[in-house]
A and B are shown apart, each in its own frame.
Chain A
Amino acid sequence: MTASARLPAGGRIDREQPLSFVLDHRLLTGYAGDTLASALLAQGIRLVGRSFKYHRPRGLLAAGVEEPNGLLTLGEGGRRTPNVPATVVELHEGLFCQRQNGWPSVDFDLMAATSWLAPLLGAGFYYKTFMGPRRGSWMFYEPFIRRAAGLGRADHLPDPDRYETRHAFTDVLVIGAGPAGLAAARAASRAGCRVTLVEQDFLLGGSLLSAAIGSADDILRATLEADVAAMPNVEVLRRTTALGVYDGDTVALVERHDHARPDPSKGEAREVVITLRARAIVHATGAIERSLVFGDNDRPGVMLAGAVRTYLNRYAVAVGRQAVIATNNDSAWSTALDLAGAGVGVTLLDERIEAGNGLADAARRAGVDVRHEVRLCRALGRRAVQGVEFARRGGAIERRACDVVGISGGWSPTLHLTSHTGSKPTFDVGLDGFVPGPFAPGHYGAGAIMGTRSLARSLAEGHAVGDAAARHVGAAASAGSAPAPTEEAPTGHAASPPDRAPGRGKAFVDFQNDVTTRDIELAHEEGYHSVEHLKRFTTLGMGTDQGKTSNVDAARHMAALRGIDMAAAGTTTYRPPYTPVSVGALAGRSKGTHFRATRRTPMHDWHLMNGAVMIEAGPWLRPWYYRWAGRAVGSAYVEEMRLVRTGVGISDVSSLGKIDVRGPDAALFLDRVYVNAFAKLPVGKARYGVMLNDDATVLDDGTTARFDDNTFFMTTTTAQAAEVMSWLEFLLQTAWPELRVQVVSVTDRWAGMSVAGPKAREAIALALPGVDLSSEALPYMGVREFDLDGTPVRILRLSFSGELAYEIYVPADKGTSMWTHLLEQAAPLGMRPYGLEALASLRIEKGHVAGLELDHRNTLDDLGLGAMASKSKAFIGRELAGREALKKPGRWSLVGLELLEPTAKLRGGAILFSRHDALEGHGRGYITSVTWSTEHHKLIALALYEDGRMHEGEEILCAYPLKNEIVRARIVSPMFVDPSGERVRA
């Protein structure tokens, strides 16, 4: 630790507002306006972490999102967030953070011994050593490797914070609030557009924020910010990162509120993901400075020159007292000048023969020791830089003592987002960097992203594209004139691409993943030439920083090895997110009970208050079983089945899909969609029907009743309700618009309840004494609609269970009232509710197929329903039902199974084999549904089996490999109950 590096005055910090924070259990202080990084540097803390593989001491390289080294773990417990760059954390009171990847501590790291293993740990090391012919060795070594190499740890506790999502719309989205972005937002808003300006920083201004307070650039920044703030049609989103640009010019933004210490109990969100749809997008994302590649260039204190200036001017932190600035372009000269102005001793090493206009003179006047045509060879020191070695090309090595090295290898336009749109970056030789390729319509770029380094030109470009974007979205007003700077800072480009000077030590390209020039050479030797292969072989650019400071240097090194130019080398593909985003933010509030919307039947509350145990069935919450029948489902459903087989029970069937099919052509329409005939269905009757898909597989089954000539009431299975509705609409809207039919979903309008059991008629008679329920008046499959004191009531006599049964429908708001009325009136008969488990078991016993059997592969014949198909009319799927493959022997078809081993279990999903088969492969079928049979006092099942019913009576084997079970069962008829149907007609 060294003394405080904070300057006595200056910076965009509020010295009246000190903030306490904790680093590795040490209490430290910074100011409002600091980032965690600037606060650490101000305290003289240079060493921020240990490197990924070699555990080398590392310091901060940058001042922004590109930071590869300074990754800390923030927060504790469920809030613990690993791998957060200190450079993007806005300091707030009580911030708790830890350094990572050091054991026992970052300052004294025993794991640094891995440096001795460095020759072994080169690129491809893991693959070659552990993934080779000796299988299993990876399993052995993995825990060690994971502990030794790596970043921060996540925790496994639930995150107590709240995350939000919201939808947004705008005319012109401006990404980046640097000079170009501010000028664009100003122009587009003045032209009358709705403008959204997003900035990842907590202050607006971008590069202008790094200028000294009171300088011309600072005044310009304030003016631009005020101009934008004055426009009511601009929404400014600070602390907001554009993560990705997607189809339809939809942009994913994440807004962070950590600084405000949000309280989840008050509904305050820690992060908000905003899905923004923009009509035009201005990309003003700026540029990121590249490092220089030389020996031991990762020593703490070696930083990007721009970052040194940012810490100096924005945060009033002089990172060192003796600085060496090394550059291949003009921008770093500003750093040298500002440092010198702050009293720091500066040596400036420029690789070029000369710098931009007048710079050298100005620097010398400021007391800077200027050296041209020299390159850095090596940084000296270990836990902090203590000096550098540099040399002329081919010349002798000179040394210079220093405590900070500012490096600049040129600037890479931040073209991640434009790349998301499919615009392929192109290499600009003059800039010595990649610039965005051609833009899609409605997309514009301005400022440093376009390779523009001049402030005046950035402002002019920003203004021009803001105006153009406004016109693109149809704005008519004038944007006025562009803002102009009063003086121009050094902005020249790299005169010559940097190349590596001779020097000892590891020369890092990707700091975060510990990739050196030697690794790139190794990749080249092993034939991993393309940038995409290089990336995967060396893991270069695959860290949390995604190689923001390193990708171009890596490509350049490989291009040199291959003897090709940069344009031919290209870049890897940029994919969202631009910077890491927490999973919590992406999930938003869609977790727990809000994971998805759930459906409740009209009798839901009654079920809850009367002992129902609920279960999710698709989106529905349904009673699974009731506590009157038992404490566990296994015993309760059998009790409920017994009630229905011997007395009477009532069950909530409101979740069945219900569709009104109305119109003069409704009967004709149903005749087309069902395999069986409906045209001649009499009024007052219902019919069981099956629908096929066009390819002749079964789509759904259900019952449709006719209430008058033009009015049908269709029910579908709960699972397929939405499918069937869309299918009917598809047919009516695309294929047969001439049919005079309207289909309307009335699932939500009607509460449905099934009263089933031998005493069902008696039960309903007690509740609805005025209704004639005799078999003459209401025979099996008969339906009736009547008015009960102003409420329409529908009774359909149909049975899912195989017992005498009625379905009663009333408008949803009267559902609970009818349900309780039925239960109260039928109480003398012992009627009680039964749940989904019993409902499903009763139908298995009766041999009714349902969702588990309908696997969208079976045909009518497979399900034993072939006889339903009409011979006298066309229906959907008829022609393709005759396909050879659907008629061949060997198809899996519906059978019943009974268990032959009383102590064993039948299990859904068990694989079926004949007794002579080897027990391997997919078998001859599988079990679809299992239940205890109250009729037969044994476990029974429905199954699909090869040539099913031909094997009736045969003993087969049911294999359940997950539990190592093989049990014997016999193939029987799937109709376990009342095969002749006497009960339902009673």
Chain B
Amino acid sequence: MLRIPCPHCGERDYTEFRYAGDATKTRPAHGTTDARAWHDHVFLFVNPKGPHREHWQHVQGCRQWLVLERDTGTNAVGRSWLARAGEPS
């Protein structure tokens, strides 16, 4: 049972969360007309084995979207922060 540190609620079972994948990319600004930029954002992923950042939402808890550091090779979980707040310095 992966345990995810929710920045608001604390550590919880991953079954309380919803997974939304890669959080390393920046979404093109709304209204960007460059189809290539959208193509790259929507379809191209690095899918690394090792340290990664992912979007998860604590759907059964505070419903906050967060960024989680997870090693995709070992499932080791690192830091997390609220997506809207940005990475803590």
A-contacting residues, B58-80, CB 8 Å: 59, 63-65, 74-75, 77
> Chain B, 22-44, contact with A by CB distance < 8 Å: what is the 0/1 string?
01000100111111001101110
| Count of interface residues, chain A, beta-carbon cutoff 8 Å | 27
What chain B residues lie within 8 Å of A672 (beta carbons)?
A: 30
A-contacting residues, B7-58, CB 8 Å: 13-14, 18, 20, 23, 27, 30-35, 38-39, 41-43, 55, 57
Contact pick for A422, options B18, B30, B74, CB 8 Å? B74
A880 near B39: Cβ-Cβ < 8 Å: yes
B-contacting residues, A853-878, CB 8 Å: 874, 876
CA distance A248 to B74 in the complex (A): 11
A247 near B2: Cβ-Cβ < 8 Å: yes
CA distance A695 to B42 in the complex (A): 7
16 A/B residue pairs, CB under 8 Å, sorted by A: A246-B1, A247-B1, A248-B1, A248-B14, A250-B3, A726-B57, A729-B57, A729-B63, A730-B57, A733-B82, A879-B33, A879-B38, A880-B35, A880-B38, A880-B42, A882-B35
Residue of B nearest to A672 (CB): B30
> Chain A, 454-470, contact with B by CB distance < 8 Å: what is the 0/1 string?
00000000000000000
A733 near B65: Cβ-Cβ < 8 Å: yes
| A277 within 8 A of partner (CB) | yes
CA distance A730 to B13 in the complex (A): 20
Residue of A nearest to B35 (CB): A879
Residue of B nearest to A735 (CB): B27
Q: In the complex where A277-B3, A729-B65, A733-B83 touch, is A247 in contact with B30 (Cβ < 8 A)?
A: no
What chain A residues lie within 8 Å of B13 (beta carbons)?
A: 248, 250
Contact pick for A247, options B27, B31, B75, CB 8 Å? B75
CA distance A89 to B31 in the complex (A): 68
A879 near B34: Cβ-Cβ < 8 Å: yes
CA distance A729 to B64 in the complex (A): 8
Q: In the complex where A730-B57, A879-B33 touch, is A248 in contact with B2 (Cβ < 8 A)?
A: yes
Least Cβ–Cβ distance between B25 and chain A, in angstroms:
11
CA distance A730 to B2 in the complex (A): 22
A726 near B59: Cβ-Cβ < 8 Å: yes
CA distance A726 to B31 in the complex (A): 21
Most chain B CB within 10 A, of A248, A874, A880, is at A248
Least Cβ–Cβ distance between B11 and chain A, in angstroms:
8
A247 near B3: Cβ-Cβ < 8 Å: yes
Closest 10 interchain pairs by CB? A248-B3, A250-B1, A874-B31, A737-B84, A733-B65, A734-B83, A733-B84, A879-B38, A247-B2, A879-B35
Least Cβ–Cβ distance between B15 and chain A, in angstroms:
10
Least Cβ–Cβ distance between B71 and chain A, in angstroms:
11
What chain B residues lie within 8 Å of A726 (beta carbons)?
A: 18, 57, 59
Least Cβ–Cβ distance between A76 and chain B, in angstroms:
36
What chain A residues lie within 8 Å of B43 (beta carbons)?
A: 695
Least Cβ–Cβ distance between B14 and chain A, in angstroms:
8
| A81 within 8 A of partner (CB) | no
CA distance A277 to B15 in the complex (A): 14
Least Cβ–Cβ distance between B57 and chain A, in angstroms:
6
Residue of B nearest to A722 (CB): B59
Least Cβ–Cβ distance between B7 and chain A, in angstroms:
12
CA distance A726 to B42 in the complex (A): 18
A736 near B30: Cβ-Cβ < 8 Å: yes
CB-based A-B contact count at 8 angstroms? 68
CA distance A247 to B13 in the complex (A): 10
CA distance A167 to B36 in the complex (A): 48
| A914 within 8 A of partner (CB) | no
B-contacting residues, A79-108, CB 8 Å: none
Residue of B nearest to A668 (CB): B30
Least Cβ–Cβ distance between B13 and chain A, in angstroms:
8
Contact pick for B41, options A249, A694, A737, CB 8 Å? A694
Most chain A CB within 10 A, of B33, B38, B41, is at B38
Most chain A CB within 10 A, of B30, B34, B57, is at B30
What chain B residues lie within 8 Å of A422 (beta carbons)?
A: 74
What chain A residues lie within 8 Å of B30 (beta carbons)?
A: 672, 735-736, 874, 876
Least Cβ–Cβ distance between A762 and chain B, in angstroms:
43
CA distance A900 to B54 in the complex (A): 53
| A275 within 8 A of partner (CB) | yes
Residue of A nearest to B34 (CB): A879
A734 near B38: Cβ-Cβ < 8 Å: no
Residue of A nearest to B41 (CB): A694
Contact pick for B84, options A248, A722, A734, A882, CB 8 Å? A734
B-contacting residues, A443-487, CB 8 Å: none
What chain A residues lie within 8 Å of B77 (beta carbons)?
A: 248
Least Cβ–Cβ distance between B55 and chain A, in angstroms:
7
CA distance A137 to B35 in the complex (A): 58
A694 near B20: Cβ-Cβ < 8 Å: no
What chain B residues lie within 8 Å of A882 (beta carbons)?
A: 35
| A883 within 8 A of partner (CB) | yes
What chain B residues lie within 8 Å of A880 (beta carbons)?
A: 35, 38-39, 42
Least Cβ–Cβ distance between B46 and chain A, in angstroms:
18
17 more contacts with CB within 8 A, not counting A726-B57, A732-B84, are A246-B1, A247-B1, A247-B3, A248-B13, A248-B14, A250-B1, A729-B63, A733-B65, A733-B83, A734-B65, A736-B30, A874-B30, A879-B34, A879-B38, A880-B38, A880-B39, A883-B35
> Chain A, 770-789, contact with B by CB distance < 8 Å: what is the 0/1 string?
00000000000000000000
CA distance A247 to B73 in the complex (A): 12
A275 near B83: Cβ-Cβ < 8 Å: no
Residue of B nearest to A695 (CB): B42
CA distance A734 to B57 in the complex (A): 11
B-contacting residues, A267-284, CB 8 Å: 275, 277
Most chain B CB within 10 A, of A734, A737, A880, A882, is at A734
CA distance A445 to B55 in the complex (A): 36
Q: In the complex where A247-B75, A248-B1, A248-B2 touch, is A730 in contact with B55 (Cβ < 8 A)?
A: yes
A879 near B3: Cβ-Cβ < 8 Å: no
CA distance A734 to B22 in the complex (A): 12
B-contacting residues, A4-39, CB 8 Å: none
CA distance A734 to B33 in the complex (A): 20
What chain A residues lie within 8 Å of B65 (beta carbons)?
A: 729-730, 733-734
CA distance A874 to B29 in the complex (A): 11
Most chain A CB within 10 A, of B27, B41, B74, is at B27
CA distance A736 to B34 in the complex (A): 19
Least Cβ–Cβ distance between A279 and chain B, in angstroms:
10
CA distance A223 to B70 in the complex (A): 45
Residue of A nearest to B4 (CB): A248
CA distance A86 to B68 in the complex (A): 48
What chain B residues lie within 8 Å of A883 (beta carbons)?
A: 35, 39
Contact pick for B64, options A247, A695, A733, A876, CB 8 Å? A733
Least Cβ–Cβ distance between A663 and chain B, in angstroms:
15
Least Cβ–Cβ distance between A920 and chain B, in angstroms:
32
Least Cβ–Cβ distance between A874 and chain B, in angstroms:
4
What chain B residues lie within 8 Å of A732 (beta carbons)?
A: 84
What chain B residues lie within 8 Å of A695 (beta carbons)?
A: 42-43
Residue of B nearest to A736 (CB): B30
Most chain B CB within 10 A, of A246, A695, A730, A883, is at A730
> Chain A, 724-753, contact with B by CB distance < 8 Å: what is the 0/1 string?
001001101111110000000000000000
CA distance A590 to B46 in the complex (A): 38
CA distance A422 to B64 in the complex (A): 32
B41 near A734: Cβ-Cβ < 8 Å: no
What chain A residues lie within 8 Å of B83 (beta carbons)?
A: 733-734
CA distance A695 to B83 in the complex (A): 22
Contact pick for B27, options A249, A729, A734, CB 8 Å? A734
What chain A residues lie within 8 Å of B35 (beta carbons)?
A: 879-880, 882-883
CA distance A148 to B11 in the complex (A): 52
Least Cβ–Cβ distance between A737 and chain B, in angstroms:
4
CA distance A734 to B53 in the complex (A): 14
CA distance A876 to B41 in the complex (A): 13
CA distance A422 to B71 in the complex (A): 14
CA distance A357 to B65 in the complex (A): 66
CA distance A246 to B14 in the complex (A): 12
Residue of A nearest to B70 (CB): A247
